Amino acid sequence: MVYHPEFKQWIAENQALFLKDLARIIRIPSKKSVATTEAPFGEANLNVLREALTIADEYGFSTKMVENAVGYAQLGEEEDYIGVVGHLDVVPEGEGWSSPPYELTLRDEKLYARGVLDNKGPIMACLFALKLLQDHEVPLKRTVRIVFGTDEESGSQDMPLYLAKEKAPIFGFTPDCKYPVVYGERGILRVGITTKITADSFTYLGAIVGSQDPSFIPDSLTTVFQGRTFTASGKRSPSNAPELGENSITLLAKQLEEVLTHEDDLKDYLAWIVIHLHQQHQGEGLGLNWSDSDSGTLQISPYRWTKQDDGMCLEISIRYPVTVTEEAVLEQLTKVLPKLSTLNVLRRLPSTVFPKEHWGVQKLVTVYEEVMHEDGQPVTTTGATYARFVPNIVAFGPSFPGQKGIAHNPDEYMDVTDWLKNIEIYMHAILALAND
């Protein structure tokens, strides 16, 4: 690979334009909402897709909308293409922002906004990278597509719609994870543990109130028990980084268990949560602390706790190493459930592993090492990206080693220098993949 120092100057000359156009995408609150005949993932998600394609049209790319769910900007006419696949949908903004979440705000050399890191900023960085290559007439042998999805945060139901109409890329990447190139993604299970409670004390427990979602560790939950209000205040973090947060589910269970003075099955249930889950993010309390050399240690994240008519339901996300099977996880979990409990699988995503020796992966290794002067050997992730749903792609960027727990939080941010460096990396990556 040839390193191109001139790319930095090209980026600097266009930085103001790129920030202005990124702000156009940020300002649309593209959270999944009620589907309509025209908008399968809600009106806002369709609007942000239209805006991205409008920008791509302004840049001179050919564009296409697929089923009002996915769109792409294309450079080149060949049928086979290199695909760069990102998403324009975001998780809800939540509370606790220092600036409006849907206004791109520059503060202390950081860009703040919902989606600036996950994933509007990075996928637009890829569009900007392709624009610069086009503007400076850098030869590309292969067709390149920047593909914009709108349902990654809610299950990636957009990609089957795209692939039903369009060929898959011959290779490509999604800028929705971390560096270096990610060749493996852990298996993910979301399970619900429903426990019947017969104790008289259960009738005095109110609903569990607070913001709860599979994408993050809840940071504030409240309930009423025996006429008293209990609030557990923790720290929000992405659900694939529970060690960076403090889970209000287990904190609230601990408070309630401590005020129950007599033994009953409600106290036993609360004690089970505390003993087996409180600050035990690697499954050690459940006998699930398994690991392998490629993907590290299994990870546990309780993310939703609700009261039902005759019991409680606790939902947990489990991210397991690539060498572990779903069957083994469920078998062990079943052995340690609370009394009178049933286990239901709510979502399953098997692990995925891409060959590290593949020519495309090795190209991305070289790109990262040449631009960053750091080790670029492939890694694995606890996250879930479009690489699970689109053939022949891997995750590549945008977060650098050591950066974790920023997405899905209030004051989501991206360093300006990191965002510009991403554009540079993606320029080199597109050039290397398109000219192999």
**Three-class HEC string of the chain:** CCCCCHHHHHHHHCHHHHHHHHHHHHCCCCECCCCCCCCCCCHHHHHHHHHHHHHHHHCCCEEEEECCCEEEEEECCCCCEEEEEEECCECCCCCCCCCCCCCCEEECCEEECCCCCCCHHHHHHHHHHHHHHHHCCCCCCCEEEEEEECCHHHCCCHHHHHHHHCCCCCEEEECCEECCCEEEECEEEEEEEEEECCCHHHHHECCCECCCECCEECCEEEEEECCEEEEEECECEECCCHHHCECHHHHHHHHHHHHCCCCCHHHHHHHHHHHHHCCCCCCHHHCCCCEECCCEECEEEEEEEEECCCEEEEEEEEEECCCCCHHHHHHHHHHCCCCCEEEEEEEEECCEECCCCCHHHHHHHHHHHHHHCCCCCCEEECCCCHHHCCCCEEECCEECCCCCCCCCCCCCEEEHHHHHHHHHHHHHHHHHHHCC
Q: Which segments of the chain belong to CATH 3.30.70.360?
A: 187-349
- Looking at 97-101, 139-143, 231-235, 401-405, which range is the least confident one? 401-405
Q: What confidence tier does 329 reach under pLDDT thresholds 50, 70, 90?
A: very high
Classify domain 5-185+352-435 by CATH architecture. Answer: 3-Layer(aba) Sandwich (3.40)
pLDDT of 405 higher than 90: no
Please tell me the predicted confidence (pLDDT) of residue 404.
86
C-alpha closest to that of 256 among 280, 283, 285, 222: 222
Q: Does CATH number 3.20.20.150 belong to domain 187-349?
A: no
Q: What confidence tier does 98 reach under pLDDT thresholds 50, 70, 90?
A: very high
Please tell me the predicted confidence (pLDDT) of residue 1.
82
Contact 119, 86 (CB under 8 A): yes
pTM of the model: 0.88
Q: What confidence tier does 224 reach under pLDDT thresholds 50, 70, 90?
A: very high
- Looking at 14-28, 166-180, 231-245, which range is the least confident one? 231-245
Q: What average pLDDT does the segment 363-371 reach?
A: 98
Please tell me the predicted confidence (pLDDT) of residue 292.
92
Q: What is the rounded CA–CA span in Å between residue 124 and residue 130?
A: 10
Q: What confidence tier does 117 reach under pLDDT thresholds 50, 70, 90?
A: very high
pLDDT of 153 higher than 90: yes
Please tell me the predicted confidence (pLDDT) of residue 3.
94
State the chain's mean pLDDT as an integer. Answer: 96
pLDDT of 159 higher than 90: yes
Q: What is the rounded CA–CA span in Å between residue 280 and residue 283?
A: 6
pLDDT of 261 higher than 90: no
Determine what percent of the chain is predicted with pLDDT higher than 90.
95
Please tell me the predicted confidence (pLDDT) of residue 423.
98
Model confidence pLDDT, tens digit, residues 285-318: 999 999 998 889 999 999 999 999 999 999 999 9
Q: What average pLDDT does the segment 226-240 reach?
A: 95
pLDDT of 187 higher than 90: yes
Determine what percent of the chain is predicted with pLDDT higher than 70.
100
Q: Which segments of the chain belong to CATH 3.40.630.10?
A: 5-185+352-435
Q: What average pLDDT does the segment 5-31 reach?
A: 98
